[in-house]
Amino acid sequence: MAPGLRKAMLAVHLTCSVGWIGTVMAYLALGLTAVNSEDDNTIRAAWTAMERIGWWVIVPLALLSLVTGLVMALGTRWGLFRHWWVIFSLVLTGFAVAVLLLHMPTVSATADQAQTVDGTALVALGGDLGHPSIGLVVLLGVQVLNLYKPRGQTRHGRRSSAP
């Protein structure tokens, strides 16, 4: 990959990845609001915002992060199967995207339910804290992995770098 294109792709990848982390934090804040509030309107607003942020921001950033990460791996010296940290990063990112895509229909259903129930039933909906909390830990782990790039080449990487 040409240096100018590589820098542009890296900028897009980093923007999407860091944006994904930031929007998960915002989503988590809304989940905490829904859990800690007893006001019907606040809980409804939190669930509505969680659904919108999820589908319109988190899902696109997650998919773009995965795709741009693949492009970066395939188009740079790191390669896709040469280093263990690249493989772990890809697997963790793919896992996070899959869990997100499987989880979002539940968020939509709960947001729809929040619009129709009142009082105690609405407070009982609570907030969504487990998925975004674990997701945030996974995303931060991937970020640290990509920053430190621990040593360790795969068998393929050792063969391709041998003289």
Domain spans of the chain, in order of start: 3-161
pLDDT band at 149 (very low <50, low <70, confident <90, very high): confident
Distance CA 36, CA 24 (A): 18
Convert 83-104 to b/e letters by CB count within 10 Å (16 or more is b). Answer: bebbbbbbeebeebbeebeebb
pTM listed for this prediction: 0.88
Please state which of the ranges 2-11, 43-52, 64-73, 74-83 shows the lowest mean pLDDT.
74-83
